[in-house]
Amino acid sequence: MLTITQALVDQIVAHARKDHPDEACGVIAGPAGSDRPERFIPMLNAAMSPTFYEFDSGDLLKLYREMDDRDEEPVVIYHSHTATEAYPSRTDISYANEPGAHYVLVSTADTDGLGDFQFRSYRIVEGEVTEEEVKVVDAY
């Protein structure tokens, strides 16, 4: 289960809406071993595409060095889908190389008639996708 604050959910959704019609992407870092997302880090979609995302390799290297210096790890890796439901694509699954991370997808397309976005979380380990419950809290 992913436990995340309402403030972080709001930041992810705002980033997805701001970058629409391109996919948005980013990381939420947390203390190593805590499974607690804390530090919101919006990233640039180097692909600048409405159908896929790609972290800039230089930005990603800088981020991992920074997290290492701060004794953090990527707790959440998020991106948006602009025209499809919030479910990992084959490409998303192939890029998922952090088995301990929660992969959050936000869809800015109303694909289910339930509102203007979907917010869902998955574990992706060795190509296997498992949706998990998301518990939104005011604070940890």
The pTM of the full predicted model, rounded to 2 decimals, is 0.94
Report how far apart, in Å, the C-alpha atoms of 55 and of each of 40, 41, 46, 52, 135 are. Answer: 15, 12, 6, 10, 27
Eight-state DSSP code of residue 24: P
Percent of the chain residues topping a pLDDT of 90: 87
Helix (H) or strand (E) holding 9: helix 6-19
Residue type, 77: I
- Residue with the bigger pLDDT between 33 and 117: it is 33
In angstroms, the CA 94 to CA 59 distance is: 20
> pLDDT value at position 108?
85
The predicted pLDDT at position 110 comes to: 62
pLDDT score, position 111: 58
Give 109's pLDDT tier (boundaries 50, 70, 90): confident
- Average pLDDT of the residues in 95-121: 84
Write out the two tokens for 83: 């025209």
CA distance 87 to 137: 23
pLDDT band at residue 117 under the 50/70/90 scheme:
confident
Nearest to 43 by CA among 61, 69, 31: 61
The 3 state secondary structure assigned to 52-90 is CCCECHHHHHHHHHHHHHCCEEEEEEEEEECCCCCCCCH
pLDDT at 39 over 90: yes
* pLDDT on residue 113: 58
Looking at 50-59, 112-121, 125-134, which range is the least confident one?
A: 112-121
pLDDT band at 83 (very low <50, low <70, confident <90, very high): confident
Average of per-residue pLDDT values in the chain:
93
CB 57 within 8 A of CB 98: no
Cβ neighbours of 95 (radius 10 Å): 18
